[in-house]
Structure 1
Amino acid sequence: MQIEYNSQKIVNENKEYSDSMKISYNLQQELTIHQIENCYSIDFSKDCKSIAVGDDQLIKIYTISQHNIKLINKVFGHRNEVSMLRFMLKSNHLVSTSLDGSISLWSQCLLAKPLKTYKLLNHSKGILCYTINSEENLIITGSYDSTMNVWVKKECQWFCSQKFTEHTSAVYGISINENQNQVISCGHDSQILIFSMNNFGDPQLFTKTQTIIVDTYGFRLCFINNNMFVFQPSKGEKLWIYELDDNDGKFRNTNQIAMSNGIYCYEFFPQQYIREKQLLINKNGYSVNILKNKQKQGFVVEQSINFDHYFVFGSLSHNGDYLATWDWKSKQIQIRKYQEN
């Protein structure tokens, strides 16, 4: 694979790194689960000893050991398909969203006994994406209804403090930066929006600071650090890199990275960047691409897993040690383990 840049940079060095393929996620056959129903989201617990799996309207909880995976609970709580799942790392809650437009927060004691602690309602259509800040007192959701809701936790209660209406169609992706003071979003309206955070106590917590019009909409984007984010156009064969211009404080498209399978894609399966391992996961068309940030050399594609269908969903564990996916063709939850070759 060849990395292509808009600006004049050395390409051969990047190609050499890409061809080395030192990093891979290898399938753990003994941890495979057969599942017929659609699974739009999977997430690992902090210790990677359990996973939450969407199964139509259900949430299934599995425990994982080295050679075994076991179903221990089924959690009911949504009236439509589960769209996103996320284990919080500090507050011991599992967050679930649904195509019924609701957000539910579950106590992680649901491993033994399900307990819904909050249900948040303020979207008129299904939720497609969300981001949570590092303090876990802020959730921002994006929906088919073209809006983004800012949920704030104060005195153990959650409330919607702000609603963004700048998108004119479905909101597909949201990400928050490393300093937790900027948020980006993308939608079907071919816009990327950048918002900056005001003081946490302000009634209007965020202010829009930039609008980027792109050639085609994309389903996913992700902050790499405070000065860079990546965006994957739908049906595109390149991943776009945006960097902050110090002169005017605006983000601009500076680089592009060749991606395989730039064909029809689908919602969900958000991009993730694992800082500890400098790894980016980017689903594009039929393929799940694993990229390594090699600093001066930039991002290099280390592995591309082709599922032979665009209906592929999943996530990396928070430490990057595992990759879990569900795909339409195999009808399986598959777990792969990180290896350095």
Structure 2
Amino acid sequence: MQIRCTQIGNHSQQINVVCIEKDCQNLRICCPSCIFQHAHHLLSLISLERLNEWIKQRMETIFVIQNSISEFKLELNDIINLNTKQLLEIGDSRIEVLIKGFWKFDDFVRLQFSLLQSSIYNIRQIVKDVTTCFKDNILQQQSFNYPKGLLNPQIQDIKFKDFNQPMPQIVHNRDQCRAIAMNKDCSIVLGGYDQYIKVFEHKIGKLKQIQLLNEHSSNVITLNFMKKSNHFISGSCDKIIIIWQMNQINQWVYLQKLIGHDSSIFCLLINKNEDLIISGSQDKSIKFWQKQDKWQYSQSITDHIDIVRSLSLNEGQDKLISCSDDQFILIIQQSLKDKIWSVVQKIQVDYQGFRLCFIDENLFTFQPYCKQQMYVYEMNRNTKLYWKIQDIKVNCGSKNCSLFPQQYIKSKGILVNKNGKFINFMRKKENGEFLNEFSIQFEVDEIFGQLSDDGKYLITWDSYSREIKITNYKNL
């Protein structure tokens, strides 16, 4: 059965979309012409046929909670079964932690349980009402609420500028994610959750956690896959860079730790040959690490006087750009003779920046801190110096930028530029100018993510939903 949209404006199109955004103020179900009412949360639009799957995912959360509680009860039985003498042998410090832990647990239960009961009651009432409506055949008299098309949908996938939104993936609802990476064939996704790295298997928009890595002792800030080898690198607030490899039983294990920075690692790069790692840190330095028999420290650039936020290598792999909280962009070049890197230009900017990216040998982009313009710099062919040639209007809507590297997909001519609450998708035209094609707005500015190398998948995590979401772009 096809249900037509009756919104004002003569839409009269088949309803095929539902909005699952938490605080959406518009009608939840709509036709393609209604999509623009949800422009600020396009990631929350799904086809009607996927609504059941979304509900099932929420049910899976209940099962996870049930299993966790059951395991917790079994572990508590081990304490209950101890006699008095054994309890004394535990020691005062452990008993202190145990008692305080239970008090915190009691406080949490008292605070949250009433809210949980209220939510359960409201959902049960809705389910009861829906069931009654179907039994009484009332739905045939209604034009919008709960159409029969939900039972046996014949619906095409929602498309908006070749945009296909699969189900959001609920990966974790508590830990803070600060870095995301996807490997070359999009089969593995990494998430930096506090000091842990979660490894997920990715199949057609669905994620399954397969491993938890815990070699870091503080927040993981940056993750980068290598393209030629089965390795990835991670940087953390513990000042350490770790190189990881997959062993013979398909488990990720650390290969080597690079120690040399005096503070948090904020950005990492790997060159195309995968024999050079470049790192930027809160200690204001940029360090170069070369691979010989093992990875080892090579040299440092110390011209920045504040946190190094972002790095980018050119296509020729002999020129590096960096931005910092000191309001300078450094142009760093490798000499042909001795292969030493040195600063050849310093560009002073009016605002600090968190991200920049080479577009080609002569062009790079820079996003000033939460400004509604992105700067474009071009190299003068005579002086070989870079100058700002263009300001491009971009969306922002916030005063916090968070880490989310700029990324240019050369094969698609697409630049991904996160700014405040927005992820801006910009296309490079044949004349070299950039056009802001569209933006995705989130509820918050704390967003981390990456576009896959082929431009097919956008993977994001935000602190509002606390979910990893994978978006499939069919013809970006």
**TM-score normalised by length of structure 1:** 0.89
**Range moving further from structure 2, 135-144 or 263-272:** 263-272
**Range moving further from structure 2, 256-265 or 323-332:** 256-265
Q: 1:170 aligns with which of 279, 292, 307?
A: 307
Q: 1:263 aligns with which of 398, 420, 423?
A: 398
Say which structure, 1 or 2, has more relative contact order (CA 8 Å, 6+ apart): 1
Q: 5 Å matches for 1:1-341? A: 23=161, 25-29=163-167, 31-66=169-204, 68-109=206-247, 112-154=250-292, 156-199=293-336, 202=339, 205-261=340-396, 263-296=398-431, 298-340=433-475
Q: CA deviation at 1:68?
A: 3.0
> Which residue identity lines up with residue 332 of structure 1 in the other structure?
E
Q: CA deviation at 1:297?
A: 6.2
Partners of 1:33 and 1:183 in 2: CA distance? 35
What's the Cα RMSD here?
A: 1.9
Q: CA deviation at 1:171?
A: 0.4
Partner of 1:11: none
Partners of 1:274 and 1:315 in 2: CA distance? 11
Q: CA deviation at 1:261?
A: 1.5
Partner of 2:30: none
Partners of 2:290 and 2:336 in 1: CA distance? 13
Question: Which secondary structure does the structure 1 equivalent of 2:431 belong to?
Answer: helix
Partners of 2:432 and 2:174 in 1: CA distance? 42
Could you list the runs of 5+ residues in structure 1 that have no partner in the other structure? 1-20
Residues 1:72 and 1:122: Cα distance change in structure 2 (over 3 Å) = same
Residues 1:200 and 1:73: Cα distance change in structure 2 (over 3 Å) = farther
Q: CA deviation at 1:235?
A: 2.0
Per-residue Cα deviation, 1:23-49 (whole angstroms, up to 9, x for no partner): 465432154433321111111111111
Per-residue Cα deviation, 1:46-70 (whole angstroms, up to 9, x for no partner): 1111111111111111111126321
Partners of 2:329 and 2:248 in 1: CA distance? 37
Q: CA deviation at 1:252?
A: 0.3
Residues 1:67 and 1:158: Cα distance change in structure 2 (over 3 Å) = closer
Question: Which secondary structure does the structure 2 equivalent of 1:169 belong to?
Answer: coil
Partners of 2:449 and 2:272 in 1: CA distance? 21
Residues 1:23 and 1:199: Cα distance change in structure 2 (over 3 Å) = farther
Runs of 4+ in 1 over 4 A off after TM superposition: 21-25
Aligned length: 318
Question: Which secondary structure does the structure 2 equivalent of 1:115 belong to?
Answer: strand
Q: CA deviation at 1:244?
A: 0.5
Does the 8 Å contact 1:131/1:140 carry over to 2? yes
Partner of 1:5: none
> Which residue identity lines up with residue 188 of structure 1 in the other structure?
D
Question: Which secondary structure does the structure 1 equivalent of 2:178 belong to?
Answer: coil
Instruction: Mark the structure with the bigger radius of gyration.
Output: 2
Q: Structure 1 vs Structure 2: percent identity of aligned residues?
A: 36
Does the 8 Å contact 2:168/2:467 carry over to 1? no
Does the 8 Å contact 1:42/1:51 carry over to 2? yes
Structure in which a larger fraction of residues adopt helix? 2
Question: Which secondary structure does the structure 2 equivalent of 1:29 belong to?
Answer: coil
Could you list the runs of 5+ residues in structure 2 that have no partner in the other structure? 1-158
Partner of 1:6: none
